[in-house]
Structure 1
Amino acid sequence: MTANINASFKKNKLYHPFPLLFSACCVCLITQPYIFLIIFKQIQKHKNKFACLQQIYFFVAFWHALFKIICLKLSVF
């Protein structure tokens, strides 16, 4: 399963989402740890786990992108 996902990302020349998700989770964990409690509660309540994880991924990716834009504007990184 993982090999198929990796192959499809290489074939389509897309960025793999897991490094982005990992770095975004690290940022969230450092800055706002209560977000993880909300995420885990949402996953437990949701019937369609995959759709819930997709929504969480896009939420985290959005905040990560926003954080990067703010850092670039402030010339932190």
Structure 2
Amino acid sequence: MNTQAMGTAEETRVLVVEDDRGIAESLVRGSRQAGYSVEDVRTGRAALSVPSPDVVLLDLGLPDIDGVEVCRRLRKRRSSR
């Protein structure tokens, strides 16, 4: 990951999309300790409502929308800007 292209860690917004609370907590804790701004959600629908994160840590087996589909939609939204 090229953090120089995104700015400093504090400026980089990470979105964690994980329905398993234990895994999510570990990813959030590690990302925050590294200095990133982190938002975490449990569903694909919630992930799609977050405005343009810089980095997405995405579970592929979400309860509502397949993670691959969430990735497609996020990429499409990002490329249309």
What TM-score bracket applies, with the shorter chain setting the length?
A: under 0.3
In our comparison, the structure showing a higher alpha carbon Rg is 1
TM-score computed with the length of structure 1 as normaliser: 0.27
**Structure with greater strand share of residues:** 2
